[in-house]
Structure 1
């Protein structure tokens, strides 16, 4: 099939589909989008399959009832009822909490930490897509900027991998046999250097009241303690983990395929250090109460993260179903 045929099929795919207009609180109308509605449901931690079934069911129900125009709050209430009837009170409650949050205008700051190769960037990209978050920042990129600004001879510990930073601590060298304590000390030293630009990125997002995902190995649980608490932002720290050594090795090997310049062999040769660093980060997360998400499967891990976010939002949600869906918002359809 040629490009012109593919394009024609795409353009014709929605022909004949009955449109439904959704009216927001300002009286403006937008067409009901099954895909947008589904993505909203996925934001609550509902699986893609369940979200799709609800979105299509609601669309068909509106068509069958001849409701070609609907207020956004009525659509929200209908969605809540369908979730409750099909998947229970908890699924409906998560949706209500998410809609209440979208009405609030509060920024969402997500902090994803984890050892090398645990899938932080991949998960961050998926979460950003689901939640419609435009700003994402990797601590690796912040480190690269700092490396350009500060030469290696002035700050050598900045110019190496976080799990090898211990080799550049005072009194150490390439021939020194490291141990877990030294490795952790080197990591913390480099992380402390990166905490300054990390804080700057977060503080700017707070000032501008925009949502942000900050991800990277330097997102240590202590970082949240350095963030100003005079904002109404919702800050959710999450530590990603791969708890099976063989799976983490496979993911490290995959780096050599998806990003050849990163060289998987380098990471595999340092696997013991990478694994020890993960153990340390998980221990620190336990002590600080940071949620730990096992990234054994991308979709499952993403859904777990969504539910963790909803749990965090629930802590400040005392709204009722009636009050939430009486707020005519065009942010959730």
Structure 2
């Protein structure tokens, strides 16, 4: 039996073997359904072999992809174009994903980072932990409590008629904001792509500061259904190997929902985009589209990286070339 010849993709003097896995991964990251992505990748490989094309320009592969997407899922075509601009741009992108405890900011951040090929994902809880090591509880007691369980005596500054849960949360968020802003500013200065997620990204605080910055995109995640929000804590507890039992969150669920509603109202007041996280796939699609619409203008005029399929990642062991 004759061995099947290898197909080479070329661009700007570089070449790489054609891989259905890499092409399918590229399409999936751009928003195509996984089964459709693998179907298109397989069809294109079969066509190239049938036409005896064993060296092909990357743009030719993308043109064939677009032609098939127009017929099979036209909505993905626009996403693919914007996603390519983001992936190939050298402009730094900082994505801020805020939302109350339990709505899924960390899961969304990881998926958005994967799809945009962003290597650095930082949670505001991690930033808070670093600050806790640097600042004693005597100096900033609110910093050393959970965001939803700060007692009135740790707030130190009270406002008559103010809800103590929200006041305590805002005090802690303003303290953590120092670390968040340092990371964002450094990322922008050094040209580093970042995704930062967590409850401390308050729209009227950190997100407002970067509202007019073209390289920063802010998103708030929410869950309007309280029952759905409550159930997420049991999933979260399993995902973190029971380091923090769900019951601890449930016992403070009233306070968490107060913070949730405050963050959403704050987003509406400041014009920050909001996304309901009912399904991670749909939420991730929406988030990537928000990022693309926000920063595609600067990305289009930036210096381009040399390739898309060359740097899209490697297929897993189960994905044959």
Scaled to the shorter chain, the TM-score interval is 0.7 to 0.9
Whether contact under 8 Å (2:8, 2:56) holds in the other structure is yes
Which secondary structure state, in structure 2, belongs to the residue aligned with residue 29 of structure 1?
strand
Whole-angstrom distance in 2 between the partners of 1:226 and 1:58: 46
Whether 1:284 aligns to 2:283 is: no
Whether 1:331 aligns to 2:308 is: yes
Q: Kindly provide the CA deviation profile for residues 201-259 of structure 1, in whole angstroms up to 9, marking residues without a partner as x.
A: 111211221211101110112313324967xx632211111221111111112233222
| Normalised TM-score (structure 2) | 0.85
Whether contact under 8 Å (1:38, 1:52) holds in the other structure is yes
Whether contact under 8 Å (2:217, 2:291) holds in the other structure is yes
Which secondary structure state, in structure 1, belongs to the residue aligned with residue 96 of structure 2?
strand
Whether 1:23 aligns to 2:10 is: yes
Describe the shift of the 1:99–1:287 C-alpha distance in structure 2 as closer, same or farther (beyond 3 A): same
Give unmatched runs, 5+ long, in structure 2.
311-321
Aligned position for 2:319: none
Describe the shift of the 1:101–1:121 C-alpha distance in structure 2 as closer, same or farther (beyond 3 A): closer
Of stretches 142-151 and 199-208 in structure 1, the one that deviates more from structure 2 is: 199-208
Within a 5 Å distance, the mapping from 1:248-259 to structure 2 comes to 248-259=229-240
Aligned position for 1:175: none
Tell me the CA shift for residue 130 of structure 1.
2.3
Of stretches 133-142 and 204-213 in structure 1, the one that deviates more from structure 2 is: 204-213
Describe the shift of the 1:261–1:211 C-alpha distance in structure 2 as closer, same or farther (beyond 3 A): same
Aligned position for 2:167: 185
Aligned position for 2:37: 51
Alignment counterpart, residue 133 of structure 1, candidates 102, 110, 118: 118
Give unmatched runs, 5+ long, in structure 1.
1-14, 173-178, 320-326
Root-mean-square deviation (CA, aligned residues, Å) is: 2.8
Q: Kindly provide the CA deviation profile for residues 100-122 of structure 1, in whole angstroms up to 9, marking residues without a partner as x.
A: 33333112211111111111112
Whole-angstrom distance in 2 between the partners of 1:24 and 1:238: 35
Whole-angstrom distance in 1 between the partners of 2:248 and 2:166: 19
Whole-angstrom distance in 2 between the partners of 1:257 and 1:150: 31
Whether 1:115 aligns to 2:100 is: yes
Describe the shift of the 1:62–1:162 C-alpha distance in structure 2 as closer, same or farther (beyond 3 A): same
Whether contact under 8 Å (1:166, 1:185) holds in the other structure is no
Describe the shift of the 1:22–1:278 C-alpha distance in structure 2 as closer, same or farther (beyond 3 A): same
Which secondary structure state, in structure 1, belongs to the residue aligned with residue 72 of structure 2?
helix
Tell me the CA shift for residue 312 of structure 1.
2.3
**Number of equivalenced pairs:** 304
